[in-house]
């Protein structure tokens, strides 16, 4: 039978695996086990398990090995990055020897939605600026980024050049210094519009990262939703002696 992404139960298994990866319970090279072992661990059928693992394999998070020592593993060739790092995407790309470019798709000034007001800890309908951008690595689409900022924190933001690092712009012009982020990662399917922007097939897997960025006073100033092409990025997790860092994802272009 052909494997499919599955339903709610398969989605729950995927989220549990990503949670184990982000917490440090699973690390690059970790063995998840055989199908039978994992089906027992997650208390699901083997067909549901296969549906849960398929998008993670397509996204490059997992790899399956055959033979006596086979099973499903967290990919061992993931690139490590300090989870506390606050560098923007252009800096990450340049440090890896890649070129970067940005196309601004749309900007808007409007009242915050319920989700935005909750994430930014502001009253509902507070004015926000929304910026959607298409990011390129080595001339190829890499991600579609949607960032939402409290308008009162950066009054003329939409009048500024938005093709570079927004964090650098916020730091230099408005004194907003990123001091911490909280990120949630999941695997989603590309919509027709997203597929067109990223030059991939409809329903291809994407790594979706929802992020809240805070300043040194602990005040949230950015709520973002970034969609990365799963065939061009790798998900990594790191921890330190004091404990597991709350930020659990990075994106590194795959030179292939």
> Mean pLDDT of all residues in the chain?
81
Contact by Cβ (8 Å): 187, 230: yes
- Domains belonging to the chain, first-starting first, are 5-74 (1.10.10.10), 79-236 (3.40.1410.10)
How far is the C-alpha of 13 from the C-alpha of 32, rounded, in Å?
A: 12
* DSSP result, 82-127: -TT----HHHHHHHTT--EEEEEEEEEEEE--HHHHHHHT--TT-E
Task: Please report, rounded to a whole number, the percentage of residues in the chain having pLDDT higher than 90.
Answer: 40
How many Cβ atoms sit within 10 Å of the Cβ of residue 89?
Answer: 22
Give the chain's radius of gyration (CA, Å): 19
pLDDT in tens, 170-227: 999 999 999 988 888 888 999 999 999 998 889 888 988 899 999 999 999 999 999 9
Contact by Cβ (8 Å): 118, 128: no
pLDDT in tens, 56-89: 887 767 887 777 777 888 875 443 333 334 566 6
pTM: 0.63
Residue 123 is predicted with a pLDDT of 96
pLDDT in tens, 228-249: 888 777 666 555 544 444 444 4
Backbone angles phi, psi at 11, to 5 degrees: -60, -40
């Amino acid at each position: 039978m052909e494997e499919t992404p599955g339903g709610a139960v398969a989605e729950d298994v995927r989220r549990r695996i990503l949670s184990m990866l982000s917490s440090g319970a699973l690390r690059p090279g970790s063995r998840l086990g055989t199908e039978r072992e994992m089906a027992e661990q997650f208390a699901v059928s083997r067909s549901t398990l296969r549906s849960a693992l398929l998008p993670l394999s397509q996204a490059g998070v997992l790899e399956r090995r055959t033979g006596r020592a086979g099973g499903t593993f967290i990919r061992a060739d993931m690139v490590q990055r300090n989870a506390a790092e606050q560098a923007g995407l252009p800096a990450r790309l340049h440090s890896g020897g890649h070129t970067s470019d940005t196309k601004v798709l749309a900007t808007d000034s409007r009242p915050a939605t319920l989700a935005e007001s909750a994430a930014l800890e502001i009253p509902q309908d507070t004015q926000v600026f929304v910026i959607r951008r298409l990011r390129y690595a080595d001339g190829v689409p890499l991600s579609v980024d949607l960032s939402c900022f409290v308008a009162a924190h950066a009054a003329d933001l939409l009048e500024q050049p938005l093709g570079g690092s927004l964090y650098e712009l916020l730091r230099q012009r408005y004194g907003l210094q990123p001091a911490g982020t909280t990120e949630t990662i999941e695997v989603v399917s590309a919509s027709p519009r997203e597929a067109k922007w990223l030059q991939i097939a409809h329903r291809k897997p994407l790594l979706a990262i929802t992020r809240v960025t805070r300043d040194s006073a602990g005040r949230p100033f950015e709520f973002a939703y970034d969609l990365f092409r799963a065939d061009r990025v790798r998900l990594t997790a790191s921890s330190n002696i004091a404990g597991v860092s709350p930020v659990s994802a990075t994106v590194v272009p795959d030179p292939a």
